[in-house]
Structures are given as structure tokens and as C-alpha cells.
Amino acid sequence: MTTRIWHPFTQHGLGEPIPEIARAEGAVLYKTDGTPIIDAISSWWVQTHGHCHPDIVAAIQAQSAELDQMIFAGWTHGPAQHLAEGLGEFLPDSLDHIFFSDSGSTAVEVALKMALGFWHNQNIARRRILVMEHSYHGDTIGAMSIGARGVFNQAYAPLLFDVGTIPFPEASKEEDMAAALRAFCQDSDNPPAALIVEPLVLGAGGMKIYSPELLRQLHDICYEHDVLFIADEVMTGWGRTGTVFACEQAGISPDILCMAKGLTGGVIPLAVTAATKPIYDAHYSQDRSKMFFHSSSFTANPVACAAAGANLKIWREEPVQERIDAIIARHEAFAARLHNRSNISAVRQCGTILAFEIDDSSGDYMSSLGPELLRFFRERNVLLRPLGNTVYVMPPYCIRPEELDQVYSVIEEAIDHF
Ligand SMILES: *Cc1c(COP(=O)(O)O)cnc(C)c1O
């Protein structure tokens, strides 16, 4: 079928079918003909409690009939205040200033602007942003600048700003990461403003996992050298890695933390950039030129804030952690089975995320295996979207054991087939 719609990350020229979904419930999407599709990647990493959770649906319905949208510059509303207070229970105490926006990319842009503003408003020349190799922070120009360069952003390369890149801590080369970070921190010609990292798991970069100890080391080196530490928890936040936020596992508290995807349970767009008092204070003044110059039309949309409020309530009142722990245990058992397979490698797990590579000589994102795997899974009614030859499972926490088993068995079938 031809369509007027231009889909994201879709090569329409290849004529791949674009299945239509009519409704969803729990971990299952239903096609227009009623066929159930198991959503094994949480609809692109956003859904946490499952589709159409009744409490989130009810919160959205009630709020949209009460106050739908309003300006947030110089005005406020209950759902945003309620949410900002509630987030205090889940975030480290020091992150006591909550700035709203509407996507992960924007939350990251806001974080970069806060970090640069922090130094600028104090007349301190620190401008360089440090990043980790293979990172992904979003698709806007600023977020692309701090992400891995490649075929995705080659056309825009001339517009992307320079950053300092530290190596990903590959096994037995962990010391290179720390050494590179120290060298950047001590570079007095171009002192860094901030380091931004995806804590514990580099998502779009291929589900690359590193330890809480290394995360802590990154944080501590930044702290020693007055370099701001920004945690991009857009994907890792809200339980993905086994704790509400990944930073908890390293016992660290970042200067700035970005969240989006799971903030509303993954139902409607909303993002938060949380910052410490010193960052806020650097913008707090009698001088209007020092205010934080960022907003978007839908900043702190009341309906989105109400959905996020319902998400917090679910975390407080439902056994979310038990559901996560059950997925972790099942992933571990499946990973043990995978270790015996010969044509796959690098089986790894962090919380509810399980990943491995299917051996492929051209093993990058553009490898032909990716689309073939996609088709294989689609034909078997499981939504999995490998990153090149990296297959990963990232289910919503409500997934049933038999649904997860079905995902595993389709994956084993794929391993036998390819
Ligand atoms: C998805 C993602 C983003 C971008 O979020 P959007 O809401 O898609 O703009 C940023 N950072 C990380 C780590 C992500 O996984």
C-alpha cells in the first residue's frame, strides 16, 4: 500500500510492508485483523507497565477534560507540581530542580544548555562536552553532535559540533577510558564543561553494557576535576536496568539527569531534566539575561504530567520491582541456554535487557542480516527490531511468562535459521 506518511528509520524504496496496529493491551499489540503481536521491545523502549494500563488511561481521560494545555512560562498547574514533588521520592536528594520538556532528545539539549549556562553565567571558560564512544543521545542536531558519528548523521556532519570522545570500556581496556577522561579533564587549553553518558547500557549504540564500578569511576574523575556529570537515563530510567535509575547501582548522584521514555509509563511524550541546586543557582539572579532560555510549546503539558503522576503511583502501589526481578531471572535462564550456541556471541544482560550478536561477517548496523531478522520476527508475530546483527529483548514489565517464552523460542528459531 502506498502511503503519504513518511515513516522514521524506514527505507520506503525497499517496499517493506508496514503492518497496521489497531489496539494494544499489556505486552500485546493487535493488528487490524486481530492478530496478536508480542511487543518484546516495549514499543521502542518506552512502555514499562504495558499498553493501556487502566490507571494511566484514567489519568489522561480525567486530566484532558479538566485542563488540557497551557503556557508554562510564568504560569503553573497542579499536575506539574504534583509530579515534581513526587519525583523527589525516586531521584537522589540533590537533584531538586525539575525542568520539563517533551522528548529524550530535548531533555538532552536542555541538559547541555544547562551545563553550558552554568559555566557561562559564572564567566568561566569551559565549553567542551565529553562523550563516550558508541553513545546515542537523540536525533536533533545537538544530540547528534554528542552521539556516535556514522551513516545516520553523515549528511549533517558539517553542522555537528566537536566533542571530546572517551573510549567505551571494552573488556581488559577499561583503563583506557579512565586515562582518556583524565587527560581531557586536565587539558587546560580546552577545559571540559561536562561529560554526558548513558549509564550502564549504551542503547542505540548496540546494547553495550559496562559495570557500575566503571560508571562510578567516570563520575568520580569528573567530580575531582569540577566537570559536570550528566546522566542520560532516557532509556535506562524507570526500571530498565533493574533499579529505578541506573545511577543507583553505582551509588552516584549526577549533576544533571535526563529522563523521558518511561516517565509516563511510555504512553505520551514527556521529558524531565533534573538538576542540582548549583546549576539552578547559576541561572538564579536579578539579571534577566541569566535566566534559562529554553522552552517549547508543550512544556509540562498537563495531560502528560497527569500520565506521569499515574506512573509514579503504579511504582508506589504495584509490585513493579517483583515483575522486573522475574524478567531478570527468566532472562538469566535463557542467557545460560544461549551460551551453548555456536553461531552467536557476546550474550549479555543488564536488568530487563538481554542482548547478543548473531555472527555475521559484515556485522554493522547496515548489515543485510538486520532486515532479514526483522522480517523473520515479524512473520512470527513478535516485535523485535535488531540493531544490525545485535538481537535484544526489552519487554514491558507486565509481560507474562508464556509470552516471554514465546519470544525466546522465536529467537532460538532465528538462531537455528541464520
Ligand atoms: C531514545 C533516547 C534518546 C532520545 O529520546 P527521544 O524521546 O526519542 O527523543 C536520548 N537518549 C537515549 C539514551 C535514548 O535511548
Residue 131 lies in a domain: yes
Residues 311-336 pLDDT 10s: 999 999 999 999 999 999 999 999 99
Band of pLDDT at residue 3, cut at 50, 70 and 90? confident
Whether 235 lines ligand 1, by a CB cut-off of 6 Å, is: yes
Residue 368: predicted pLDDT: 79
Mean pLDDT score across all residues of the chain? 96
Residue 5 lies in a domain: no
Ligand 1 atom closest to 103 (CA): 7
Whether residue 88 is found in the same domain as residue 44 = no
Higher pLDDT, 363 or 63: 63
Whether residue 306 is found in the same domain as residue 336 = no
Whether 234 lines ligand 1, by a CB cut-off of 6 Å, is: yes
Whether residue 131 is found in the same domain as residue 160 = yes
Q: What's the CA gap between 100 and 347, in Å, rounded? A: 37
Whether residue 206 is found in the same domain as residue 351 = no
Whether residue 49 is found in the same domain as residue 64 = no
Residue 258 lies in a domain: yes
Taking CA atoms, 313 is separated from 48, 86, 89, 102, 233, in Å, by 13, 9, 11, 21, 20
Residue 1 lies in a domain: no
Which of the listed residues 295, 317, 339 is the one where a domain comes to its end?
317
Q: What's the CA gap between 165 and 146, in Å, rounded? A: 9
Going by C-alpha positions, the residue among 122, 75, 71 that lies closest to residue 290 is 122
Whether residue 231 is found in the same domain as residue 351 = no
Residue 370: predicted pLDDT: 87
Going by C-alpha positions, the residue among 164, 143, 144 that lies closest to residue 155 is 144
Indicate whether 1 pLDDT > 60.
no
Residue 6 lies in a domain: no
Range of the domain at 247: 54-317
CATH number for the domain harbouring residue 173: 3.40.640.10
Indicate whether 52 pLDDT > 80.
yes
Residue 145: predicted pLDDT: 98
CATH number for the domain harbouring residue 21: 3.90.1150.10
Our count of domains for the chain comes to 2
Residue with cell 486530566: 63
Which of the listed residues 317, 345, 368 is the one where a domain comes to its end?
317
Residues 287-297 pLDDT 10s: 999 999 999 99
Q: What's the CA gap between 291 and 144, in Å, rounded? A: 26
Residue with cell 499498553: 51
What is this structure's pTM?
0.97
Q: What's the CA gap between 153 and 231, in Å, rounded? A: 23
Whether residue 229 is found in the same domain as residue 254 = yes
Q: What's the CA gap between 382 and 235, in Å, rounded? A: 21
Residues 145-161 pLDDT 10s: 999 999 999 999 999 99
- Comparing 172-176, 234-238, 277-281, 369-373, the range with the smallest average pLDDT is 369-373
> How far, in Å, is the centroid of ligand 1 from the Cα of 291?
26
Calculate what percentage of the chain has a pLDDT beyond 70. Answer: 98
As a whole number, mean pLDDT of residues 272-278 equals 98
Residue 372: predicted pLDDT: 92
Which of the listed residues 317, 345, 372 is the one where a domain comes to its end?
317
Band of pLDDT at residue 363, cut at 50, 70 and 90? low
As a whole number, mean pLDDT of residues 349-369 equals 84
Residue 7 lies in a domain: no
Going by C-alpha positions, the residue among 240, 298, 294, 293 that lies closest to residue 268 is 298
Q: What's the CA gap between 346 and 363, in Å, rounded? A: 13
Widest CA span in the chain: 67
Whether residue 17 is found in the same domain as residue 66 = no
Q: What's the CA gap between 193 and 205, in Å, rounded? A: 24
Binding residues: 44, 104-105, 136, 232, 261, 295-297, 385
Residue 2 lies in a domain: no
Whether residue 117 is found in the same domain as residue 107 = yes
Whether residue 353 is found in the same domain as residue 226 = no
- HEC assignment per residue over the chain: CCCCCCCCCCCHHHCCCCCCEEEEEECEEEECCCCEEEECCHHHHCCCCCECCHHHHHHHHHHHHHCCCCCCCCCCCHHHHHHHHHHCCCCCCCCCEEEEECCHHHHHHHHHHHHHHHHHCCCCCCCEEEEECCCCCCCCHHHHHCCCCCCCCHHHHHHCCCCEEECCCCCCCHHHHHHHHHHHHCCCCCCEEEEEECCCEECCCCCEECCHHHHHHHHHHHHHCCCEEEEECCCCCCCCCCCCCCHHHHCCCCCEEEECHHHHCCCCCCEEEEECHHHHHCCCCCCHHHCCCCCCCCCCCHHHHHHHHHHHHHHHHCCHHHHHHHHHHHHHHHHHHHCCCCCEEEEEEECCEEEEEECCCCCCCCCCHHHHHHHHHHHCCEECCCECCEEEECCCCCCCHHHHHHHHHHHHHHHHHC
Calculate what percentage of the chain has a pLDDT beyond 90. Answer: 94
- Comparing 8-22, 90-104, 198-212, the range with the smallest average pLDDT is 8-22
Whether residue 329 is found in the same domain as residue 342 = yes
Residue 365: predicted pLDDT: 63
Band of pLDDT at residue 23, cut at 50, 70 and 90? very high
Cβ atoms of residues 292 and 109 within 8 Å: no
Indicate whether 74 pLDDT > 80.
yes
Residue 362: predicted pLDDT: 60
> How far, in Å, is the centroid of ligand 1 from the Cα of 409?
29
Indicate whether 203 pLDDT > 80.
yes
> How far, in Å, is the centroid of ligand 1 from the Cα of 137?
6
Whether residue 37 is found in the same domain as residue 109 = no
Residue 304 lies in a domain: yes
Binding residues for pyridoxal 5'-phosphate: 104-105, 232, 296-297
As a whole number, mean pLDDT of residues 246-266 equals 98
Whether 232 lines ligand 1, by a CB cut-off of 6 Å, is: yes
Band of pLDDT at residue 346, cut at 50, 70 and 90? very high
Contacts by 406-410 with C-beta closer than 8 Å and gap 24+?
Answer: 406/38, 406/382, 407/38, 407/40, 407/382, 408/334, 410/377, 410/380, 410/382, 410/384
